[in-house]
Amino acid sequence: MTPTQQSWLEAVADRIPGLFNAIETGQIMSATVIGERIINNKNVRLSLSAEVVDSGADPLGSHASVNYPSTPNQVIPEGMVKPKPRYRKSRKRR
């Protein structure tokens, strides 16, 4: 490995702790662009990313469909409005 390659790799490695710090503060994904080049007349962006892949025991806890009671024995919290069904016009065949 040449000294130029070594210094480039060390610069990339220095960015990794920042990605983990962003995840530690509560983000589910963090990314940084390492570089951009034009290859065969196409813009190519090289990036490094960190992403939460296991958010715990309830990975869908933040999704509205999970927060809304799905079985009849669950109690609907006060103030939660039940969504109205979506009626779509059916397309008639000719």
Spacing of C-alpha 73 from chain mean position = 33
pLDDT top residue among 46 and 90:
46
Contacting residues for 58 by C-beta, under 8 A, at least 6 apart: 66
pLDDT digits (tens, 9 = 90+) for 27-39: 889 999 999 999 9
Residue 11 lies inside a defined structural domain of this protein = yes
Nearest CA among 51, 45, 55 for reference residue 20: 51
User: Does the structure show a pLDDT above 50 at 66?
Assistant: no
pTM over 0.75: no
Number of domains in the chain: 1
Question: Which range marks the domain in which residue 15 is found?
Answer: 3-53
